[in-house]
C-alpha cells in the first residue's frame, strides 16, 4: 500500500494530465477551436440533435427491390450472353417466385448454355458458395436461384452505394454538416444539425433519380393508353406535365450511367427554370445518332419512371448536352439536378422515422443539463467532504477528474452527447461516489475493529476493490446490452455509462489510493478522521 513507486505515480499523473488537456476542447466554442493551429489535437464532443437542434431521418431500403432488380439484371445478362457466338437459342425467359428460368430450344446445347452461364455467377465469401445456383430441370429448362449469401452481398453493396449517394446529395444542399451512417442491414441514419425544415431534404432523398431517355411510341392508340395498354415493345408511363399516360419504347436510348453532369439552368427563350444534362463521350455519340435518325419525333426524358418532358427532336443534338424543361420551379429544378448529379440510388429509400428539434429547445436543454450537472457535483462534493473529511476531498478530486476523463474519452471517440447522455453523466457522478463510499466505509470498519491506520487503509482498498469490481462488471453488462440493442437515445446513454464505469473505477480506486498512500507516507498519521 505504502510502496507506491515513483514510476507509478508519474504514469498515473501523466495519464490524468493528458486526459484533462484532452477534455479542454469540449469546453471551448467551435469558432475558437477553429482558430487553433492544425497540429493541436482538438477532440470535442458532438452535441446530439436534441441539444443542437436539427433534423434526424431514418431511411429504410426495400431490400426486396434489390433482389428484384438483381433478377431483372440477370435476365438481361442471360439474354445477351446467349445471343453471342456460339449462339444458344433460348426462350420462355421468365421471373417467377424469386427465380429466373428459361428454356434451351436445342437439348444438345444445354452444356454450351451452362458454359455461358457460369461466368455470370461469382463466388461469395470464403465458403466457396456462389451468388446464384444453377439447376436444370426437365433436361432443357434452366432455373437460376439467387443464394442467400449472394442476395446479402448485393444488399450490402447497394446500401454502401446508397449511403454515398445520400451523402453527396445532402452535401450538395450547402453548408450543412450532416452525418450519414448505415445502421443495421438496410437502414441509413441521416442527422443534419441546424436543419429546421427537412421537407426539401426528404424530397431529395426520396428520389431514386434513375434517368433514361426513351423514344415516344407515337403509334399508341389513345383508348388503349387510357386503359394502360401499350403496343408491343413499349411501356406506359405517367407524364408529369399533362398528367395523362404516355407510351414509350421499352429500350432506353440513353441511361443515367452516361451522365457526367447535371445543373439547374434557365431556358434562353422563356426564362423558365430547367435542368441541363451533360453526357459522356459514348452517350453523346449515341444521342447524336439517335436524334439524327429520329428527327421530328418526340422523345421522353424519364426520371424514376415518370416522364418529365417529351420534346420533339427538331435537329440532331451533337454536343452531348440536353435541357429538360418540364414545369419546374427553380427549387425543384435544382433538386432534380442535385439528385441526377449525385447518381442514381441503387435502391429506393423510405423515411421511416424522423424528428426535428428547434435550436431554442436544444439550447434550453443544454443550459438545464449544465445547471443540473453543476448542482449535482457541488452537492456531492459537500456531502463527501462533510462525511469523510480528507478522504472526502480525495474522493472529490476523483469525481472531478472522472468527469474530465469522461469528456476526454467521449471527445476522442467523437461520441455524441445527447439529452439522455447528460442524464447518464449526472448519474455517473452519483455512482462514481459509490466506489469511494465503499472504500471509505471499509476503512472506517477496519479502524473500528482496531486495526492500525495503514492496515485499515490497505484492507479497506483491498476488500472494497473486490466488491467494486463485482458491482461494476454487472453494471457494465447492462450497459453493453443497451449499446447492442439500443437505438438513438438508449445508445447515447449507454456510451456515457460505459465510459463512466471504466473511468470511475480508475479514478476512484487507483487515483485516490495513490493520493492516500502519498499522504500517509509523508505524514505517518497515527489517527485518521474518517
List, in order, residues 6 or more apart from 364 with CB less than 8 Å away: none
State the nearest-atom distance from the C-beta of 448 to other proteins, in Å.
Answer: 6
Q: Which three three-digit cell numbers place residue 307?
A: 416522364
Nearer to other proteins, 26 or 431 (CB): 431
What minimum distance in Å lies between the beta carbon of 60 and other proteins? 8
Report the residue number, 154 or 395, with the smaller CB distance to other proteins: 395
Nearer to other proteins by Cβ, of 91 and 184: the residue is 184
CB of 496 to other proteins, least distance (A): 10
The answer to whether 209 and 275 are in contact (CB under 8 A) is no
Residue 380 · residue 508 · CB < 8 Å: no
Q: What are 289's three cell numbers?
A: 445518332
* Nearest CA among 73, 141, 54, 64 for reference residue 97: 64
Residue environment code for 264-292, b if the CB has 16+ CB neighbours within 10 A, otherwise e: bbeeeeeeebbbbbbbeeebbebbbebbe
Considering beta carbons, is residue 169 or 214 the nearer one to other proteins?
169
Sheet bearing 211-215, strands edge to edge: 254-255, 211-215, 299-303, 306-309
**Smallest separation, CB 106 to other proteins (Å):** 48
Q: CB of 247: closest distance to other proteins in angstroms? A: 26
Identify which of residues 219 and 358 has a Cβ nearer to other proteins in the complex: 358
State the Cα–Cα distance between residues 233 and 248, nearest whole angstrom. Answer: 9
On whether the CB atoms of residues 320 and 260 are closer than 8 A, the answer is no
**Least Å distance between CB 512 and other proteins?**
15
Q: In whole angstroms, how close is the CB of 167 to other proteins at the nearest point?
A: 20
Q: Coil, strand, or helix at residue 193?
A: strand
- Nearest approach in angstroms of CB 407 to other proteins is 17
Residue 439: which residues within 8 A CB-CB, separation 6 or more?
A: 460, 461, 464, 465, 468, 508, 509, 512
The three cell numbers locating residue 413:
471517440
Q: Which is nearer to other proteins, 321 or 455 (CB)?
A: 455
Nearer residue to other proteins within complex by CB, 227 or 529: 529
Beta strands per DSSP E along 62-210:
90-96, 99-104, 123-124, 129-130, 132-137, 141-146, 179-183, 187-193
Q: Which is nearer to other proteins, 25 or 48 (CB)?
A: 48
Amino acid at each position: 500500500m505504502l510502496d507506491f513507486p515513483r514510476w507509478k505515480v508519474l504514469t498515473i499523473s501523466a495519464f490524468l494530465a493528458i486526459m484533462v488537456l484532452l477534455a479542454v476542447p469540449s469546453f471551448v466554442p467551435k469558432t475558437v477551436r477553429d482558430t487553433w493551429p492544425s497540429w493541436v489535437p482538438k477532440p470535442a464532443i458532438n452535441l446530439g440533435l436534441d441539444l443542437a437542434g436539427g433534423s434526424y431521418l431514418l431511411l429504410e431500403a426495400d431490400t426486396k427491390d434489390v433482389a428484384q432488380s438483381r433478377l431483372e439484371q440477370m435476365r438481361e445478362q442471360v439474354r445477351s450472353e446467349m445471343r453471342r457466338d456460339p449462339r444458344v437459342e433460348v426462350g420462355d425467359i421468365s421471373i417467377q417466385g424469386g427465380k429466373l428460368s428459361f428454356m434451351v430450344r436445342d437439348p444438345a446445347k444445354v452444356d454450351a448454355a451452362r458454359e455461358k452461364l457460369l461466368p455470370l455467377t461469382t463466388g461469395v465469401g470464403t465458403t466457396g458458395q456462389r451468388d446464384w445456383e444453377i439447376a436444370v430441370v426437365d433436361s432443357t429448362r434452366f432455373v437460376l436461384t439467387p443464394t442467400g449469401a449472394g442476395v446479402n452481398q448485393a444488399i450490402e453493396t447497394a446500401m454502401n452505394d446508397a449511403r454515398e449517394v445520400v451523402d453527396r446529395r445532402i452535401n450538395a444542399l450547402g453548408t450543412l454538416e450532416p452525418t450519414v451512417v448505415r445502421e443495421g442491414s438496410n437502414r441509413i441514419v441521416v442527422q443534419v444539425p441546424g436543419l429546421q425544415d427537412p421537407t426539401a431534404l426528404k424530397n431529395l432523398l426520396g428520389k431514386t433519380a434513375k434517368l433514361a431517355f426513351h423514344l415516344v411510341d407515337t403509334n399508341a392508340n389513345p383508348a388503349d393508353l387510357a386503359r394502360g395498354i401499350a403496343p408491343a415493345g413499349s411501356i406506359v408511363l405517367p407524364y408529369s406535365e399533362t398528367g395523362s399516360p404516355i407510351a414509350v419504347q421499352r429500350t432506353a436510348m440513353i441511361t443515367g450511367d452516361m451522365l457526367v453532369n447535371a445543373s439547374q439552368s434557365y431556358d434562353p427563350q422563356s426564362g423558365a427554370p430547367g435542368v441541363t444534362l451533360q453526357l459522356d463521350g459514348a452517350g453523346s455519340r449515341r444521342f447524336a445518332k439517335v436524334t439524327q435518325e429520329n428527327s421530328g419525333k418526340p422523345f421522353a426524358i424519364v426520371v424514376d419512371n415518370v416522364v418529365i418532358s417529351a420534346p420533339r427532336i427538331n435537329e440532331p443534338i451533337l454536343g452531348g448536352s440536353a435541357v429538360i424543361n418540364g414545369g419546374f420551379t427553380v427549387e425543384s429544378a435544382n433538386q432534380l439536378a442535385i439528385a441526377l448529379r449525385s447518381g442514381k440510388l441503387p435502391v429506393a429509400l423510405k423515411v421511416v422515422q424522423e424528428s426535428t428539434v428547434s435550436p431554442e429547445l436544444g439550447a434550453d436543454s443544454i443550459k438545464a443539463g449544465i445547471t443540473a450537472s453543476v448542482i449535482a457535483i457541488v452537492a456531492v462534493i459537500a456531502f463527501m467532504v462533510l462525511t469523510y473529511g480528507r478522504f472526502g476531498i480525495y474522493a472529490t478530486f476523483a469525481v472531478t477528474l472522472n468527469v474530465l476523463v469522461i469528456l476526454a474519452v467521449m471527445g476522442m471517440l467523437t461520441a455524441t452527447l445527447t439529452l439522455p447522455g447528460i442524464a447518464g453523466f449526472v448519474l455517473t457522478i452519483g455512482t462514481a461516489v459509490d466506489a469511494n463510499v465503499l472504500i471509505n466505509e471499509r476503512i472506517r470498519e477496519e479502524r473500528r475493529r482496531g486495526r492500525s491506520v495503514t492496515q485499515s487503509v490497505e484492507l479497506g482498498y483491498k476488500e472494497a476493490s473486490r466488491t467494486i469490481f463485482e458491482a461494476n462488471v454487472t453494471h457494465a453488462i447492462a450497459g453493453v446490452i443497451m449499446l447492442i440493442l439500443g437505438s438513438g437515445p438508449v445508445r447515447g446513454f449507454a456510451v456515457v455509462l460505459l465510459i463512466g464505469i471504466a473511468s470511475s473505477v480508475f479514478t476512484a480506486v487507483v487515483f485516490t489510493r495513490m493520493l492516500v498512500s502519498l499522504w500517509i507516507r509523508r505524514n505517518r498519521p497515527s489517527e485518521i478522521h474518517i
